Structure 1
Amino acid sequence: MTPDTDFPSSNTDWSALETRTERSQALQRIWRGFMTARPAVGLLLLALQGIAFALGQSTHAPTLAITALYAAFTLADRLRTPARLPLRRLGMTWLLCIGLDVGVFALLQALQTGTTVNYTPLLALPVLMAAVAGGLVVGLATTSAATLLMLAEALRFQLAAGPDGPGRLLQAALTGTGLFVLSLLAHQLALRLAREEARASRSQDSAQLQAQINALVIEALAEGVLVVDEAGRVHTANPAADALLGGGLDRGSLPRSLMAHPAWQPLAGLAQRTFEDRADLGADLPIAQPQATPRELRVRTRLTAVDGARDRGFCVMFLQDLRQLEARIRTEKMAAMGRMSAAVAHEIRNPLAAITQASALLEEDLTEPAQQRLNAMVQQNARRLGRIVDEVLDVARVRQQGSDLGQGTALPLAASVYTMVDEWSRQSGRAQPALRLVESLPAVRFNEEHLRRILVNLLDNAARYAGPGEESIRVHTFAAGDGRPTLAVWSDGAPLEQGVERHLFEPFFSSESRSSGLGLFICRELCERHGATIRYERLRPAPDVPAGNAFLLSFAPAQAGALPQ
């Protein structure tokens, strides 16, 4: 079976979700209404005949019997399984429903001996149903059958020499014409209804599918997403947002007010300002975490209000962890620096070596003190430029090394630190820093040469900013609260500015114009390669000592059975 009318094709890619006409919910509802109206009509006819009998009028037994049988049959037929719509031909379904109604109503009209009751208006019920639930052919066929039956009854009445035979014949013709017009109009309305329902169904399916796609995209986003209304209630939150806010935004608890959680109140305030200003905003907000240090989040807001709508829409908040954002920036910087390293090696290092060698040869022939000073300046700046080139290349080498460096070695922390500090003191010509080393600490998992490089860098930085006192630089080892062996390099220098502290371990960042800004960055990279961490704190090494700058290295303990270096 093929539909009578083809629906217009959709301009989307959701053709697989198009609703077929045979499954039209609107037609099914109309059919159920028709099936309910049939027994109602039968019961109403019985009631009218009962009222007529109560008023003293005579009862026509055949009419009463046909009406009772029709009411009983239609009431039972209402309980059966709904028909498959639309009706494409005059089959058994049509015969037991529409055809039966046409025959019964025509028979009731034919059994009338007078003109007190006119049953022809009831023929509009099966004609309408045939035009709506069936195709054009079924509707016109039903209307034709009803018209022919009315004309046959009028002709029979005229042949029986009835007093108003021509009038009844004309009335039947006019009624039939009206039924044809009614059938055509009902059929056009049914087609329009089917088209609109199919279009609405396709739009709904497309919207649901798009909503599912959007939900999957939001779930997979690395940044957090919150959808907040004007009252500060969260209606949607993805897993990333739940993790950034420390949990508590599971689906079962939504919608949930941001004001109900003290740590989320800054987010509620930002959302409220977004609604008040009707503009997109952004801010860096500290969000307290359960059993952890506060997390700094970068928050951006976007409004989703519809122009002219009564409500003010929703505020969509995008959350990013500043630490991860800065790490991504560092990665991008390192990628750019890696590409630059090869050019540095060929374009700077080779000419620099020639300059250094030429300066050394020239020094042998210079006798004037002024010329010797100028040549010394050339050698000094050449060596400085060489160190910068070496640091750049070292960063590239550190990034390219495997992550398993030194993982199978055990380094005694106290003894190694003592030896390295002593070497630094003799080479730099400075007094040895104050040491407090705990020899009972377990061995750490680290490469000895890498630890020497980190410690020398930290001691050079401390010596650059420390005061002239004997204990202006201190080196301690101890066990942290989590049991991890920790090394602290402390100096009594002035506190760092907040902007400097924030970017302390970033590449190419330095508070001095003569520094490459790579020393602390290399220290952090080496620590991460060995599962260690490095951080800066402002603390007191002893109760009677003023606060100073400290760099703390927390090491991973050496694995059981690791070989000592």
Structure 2
Amino acid sequence: MPANTAPDTRPPFSPNLEETPFLRLWHGFLTGRVMVALALLLLQALGQLINQNADPWPLAVSAAYLAATLAVRILGRHAPPEPQAGPQWLPSIGVDLAAVCVLQWLHTGGMNFTALLGLPILMAAVLGTLTLALGTTACATLLLLAWAWWLGETTGGDASQRYLQAALTGTGYFIVAFLVHQLSIRLVRERQVALHNRRAALVQRQVSALVIQNLTDGVLVVDEDNTVRMANPAARELLGDTAALLPPFSLEQTAAWHPLRALAHRTFQQDAAQVADVTLLSPGQSPVGLHVRAWLTPTRQAGTDVSSERLCVMFLHDLRALEARLRTEKLAAMGRMSAAVAHEIRNPLAAITQANALLDEDLHDPAQKRLAQMVRQNAERLARIAEDILDIARVQHQISHAPASTLALDETVAHIWHDWQSHDPARRQALVALQADNAPVEFDAEHLRRVLVNLLDNALRYKSDAPDALQLHTQVSASGQVSLQVWSDGTPMDQSVQKHLFEPFFSSESRSSGLGLYICRELCERHGASISYQRLDRTTGRGPTGGNAFTVGFRKAGRLKGSASLFDTIVV
């Protein structure tokens, strides 16, 4: 295979590329040699039968040549020899030159076998280097000149015409060898460019497929027959119950998908991009609002005359997620503004609280005492709101400076649980199962109190009135993972809420600051732990019951150490 950098060198042939053009050419040359050898053998046998010639040598040479070509065809079919000139070409080019030379010398009639010298010359020009091609041509030319000299010696007469014919034939062979070799170089270059483009296209296709599969927005590819050719996981999730079906499937098979079918039909009909908000109404499920953008793929590739099928590509955006994202951004902006305001109102609130306390000491009328108490309660409420808003900055600072400590999980959780439950024993009932064998974990005690109290408060807010509607568990898995889980039988969370559970200033309630779960995540990450949410079933007095579970996975410690706390200023 000729190289694209130098005309007389080319890279070694790869035996793994079974379908490359040069391997097919090699197989073609080998098959052609076998056919030529078979034709020579039949020709010699037929000539001896017709002419009653008993000379066995031409027939023997033809038979030996056929055997040699068959051997090379069988043994050397996987790859041609190295392209450089050398003894590796003797079984093919060398045998061809020798066979033609011997047959021409043994033949006594007017038949000329020198035309067969073109086969090894072409083989060398296509599959070898320029040196090999020119060397083979030079050998063939010398054989032609030697044959002209031999005829002059044996038959006599003017040999100049024979020398001139041999020279012209050799010149033609040199021109053909050079041109064929240049064509093979061009074939190699085009093959390398094609392989490079193919690899680039394959990589681009893999990257595009990976990006589409992991997009949070749904992607549908629909043809003019309303058949979905491709749908990523997000799109199948948005489509509903039958979204588990893998493409291809039709948008006509479910009535809930008819708005998408109508949008695709309008896109094809108008031959223009479309944008619309649609609602998918699946039986037994909540309506799914989608913002859909649809485009048509080009029917003709740029710079080519190749036509392709028109396809409609739809991008499906969940309106609930868009609204939740917008709400999160608004809450974040409001949180930054609220933090500045909260910082400014703390001092006036402190003055109001202190002045109210001084006034309360001199008041004796019950009505005035109630008014003073109302002032105190509302001032404390405003102070707690300001503290919650400023809490986020404190947590960031204290997390970055908090020392590592080790505690016994079951003992610490039991202490936190009893303190939390004692504030409202009648309402704060739960099923507590501490089964971690008091395993030591790396976590600050006050930080764990903050995490667990936040999770218990959230669970208490959404649980039912059943005595086992709230459950607190600690356990050690078979792999040694120590975990703490707070479970309550609350209603399932919306998907748009789940995606933003641990983000700051995000809450499904208007009166919540949206910082509790975010602070829990920050505290867990500080100590190498993890916190996650999942919907799972627990056994209750009512049987298996679905609920919301928040699980904290701890980093297990080797031994217990004393703990230190930097959260003295944070109100739990």
TM-score, with structure 2 as normaliser: 0.60
**C-alpha distance in 2 between matches for 1:318 and 1:6:** 47
Residue in structure 2 matching 1:336, options 326, 333, 337: 333
Residue in structure 2 matching 1:95, options 90, 110, 116: 90
The residue identity in structure 1 corresponding to 2:511 is: I
Residue in structure 1 matching 2:121, options 115, 127, 130: 127
Q: Structure 1 residues 59, 44: closer, same or farther in 2, change over 3 A?
A: farther
**C-alpha distance in 2 between matches for 1:194 and 1:186:** 12
Residue in structure 1 matching 2:271, options 262, 273, 278: 278
Q: Structure 1 residues 285, 137: closer, same or farther in 2, change over 3 A?
A: same
Residue in structure 2 matching 1:258, options 243, 251, 254: 251
Residue of structure 1 equivalent to 2:460: none
Q: Is the 8 A contact 2:217 2:234 kept in 1?
A: yes
Q: Structure 1 residues 519, 62: closer, same or farther in 2, change over 3 A?
A: closer
5 Å-filtered alignment, 1:243-322, equals 243-246=237-240, 248=242, 253-289=246-282, 291-307=284-300, 310-322=307-319
Q: Does 1:78 align with 2:73?
A: yes
Residue of structure 1 equivalent to 2:447: none
Residue of structure 1 equivalent to 2:484: none
Residue in structure 2 matching 1:64, options 59, 63, 77: 59
Q: Is the 8 A contact 1:271 1:301 kept in 2?
A: yes
Q: Secondary structure at the match of 2:155?
A: coil
Q: Does 1:185 align with 2:179?
A: yes
Measured after TM superposition, the shift of residue 210 of structure 1 is 1.5
Worse overlay, 40-49 or 27-36: 40-49
**C-alpha distance in 2 between matches for 1:218 and 1:520:** 34
Measured after TM superposition, the shift of residue 108 of structure 1 is 1.3
Q: Does 1:22 align with 2:13?
A: yes
Measured after TM superposition, the shift of residue 199 of structure 1 is 0.8
Q: Percent identity?
A: 42
Q: Secondary structure at the match of 2:280?
A: strand
Q: Does 1:39 align with 2:34?
A: yes
The residue identity in structure 1 corresponding to 2:258 is: Q
The residue identity in structure 1 corresponding to 2:87 is: M
Aligned residues: 411
Measured after TM superposition, the shift of residue 241 of structure 1 is 1.6
- Cα deviations by residue, 1:493-522 (Å, 9 ceiling, x for unpaired): xxxxxxxxxxxxxxxxxxxxxxxxx99622
Residue of structure 1 equivalent to 2:511: 522
Q: Structure 1 residues 244, 387: closer, same or farther in 2, change over 3 A?
A: farther
- Cα deviations by residue, 1:1-21 (Å, 9 ceiling, x for unpaired): x9754289xxxxxxxxxx966
Residue of structure 1 equivalent to 2:141: 147
Q: Structure 1 residues 331, 349: closer, same or farther in 2, change over 3 A?
A: same
5 Å-filtered alignment, 1:434-473, equals 442=467
Residue of structure 1 equivalent to 2:132: 138
Measured after TM superposition, the shift of residue 46 of structure 1 is 2.2
Measured after TM superposition, the shift of residue 192 of structure 1 is 0.4
Q: Structure 1 residues 75, 7: closer, same or farther in 2, change over 3 A?
A: same
**C-alpha distance in 1 between matches for 2:4 and 2:548:** 76
Measured after TM superposition, the shift of residue 352 of structure 1 is 11
The residue identity in structure 1 corresponding to 2:105 is: A
Residue of structure 1 equivalent to 2:106: 111
- Cα deviations by residue, 1:308-366 (Å, 9 ceiling, x for unpaired): 754443222112222222111111111101111133335688899999xxxxxxxxxxx
- Cα deviations by residue, 1:449-471 (Å, 9 ceiling, x for unpaired): xxxxxxxxxxxxxxxxxxxxxxx
Q: Structure 1 residues 519, 267: closer, same or farther in 2, change over 3 A?
A: closer
RMSD (Å) for aligned C-alpha atoms:
4.8
**C-alpha distance in 1 between matches for 2:297 and 2:318:** 24
Q: Is the 8 A contact 2:281 2:287 kept in 1?
A: yes
**C-alpha distance in 1 between matches for 2:96 and 2:155:** 29
Measured after TM superposition, the shift of residue 160 of structure 1 is 1.5
**C-alpha distance in 1 between matches for 2:391 and 2:547:** 18
**C-alpha distance in 1 between matches for 2:164 and 2:142:** 13
**C-alpha distance in 2 between matches for 1:255 and 1:445:** 45
Q: Is the 8 A contact 1:283 1:300 kept in 2?
A: yes
List alignment gaps of at least 5 residues for structure 2: 353-378, 396-412, 429-463, 472-487, 492-506, 521-531, 533-545, 550-572
Q: Is the 8 A contact 1:406 1:445 kept in 2?
A: no
- Cα deviations by residue, 1:386-445 (Å, 9 ceiling, x for unpaired): 99999995984799999x99996578679xxxxxxxxxxxxxxxxxxxxxxxx9754866
**C-alpha distance in 1 between matches for 2:95 and 2:321:** 76
Q: Secondary structure at the match of 1:296?
A: strand
Residue of structure 1 equivalent to 2:196: 202
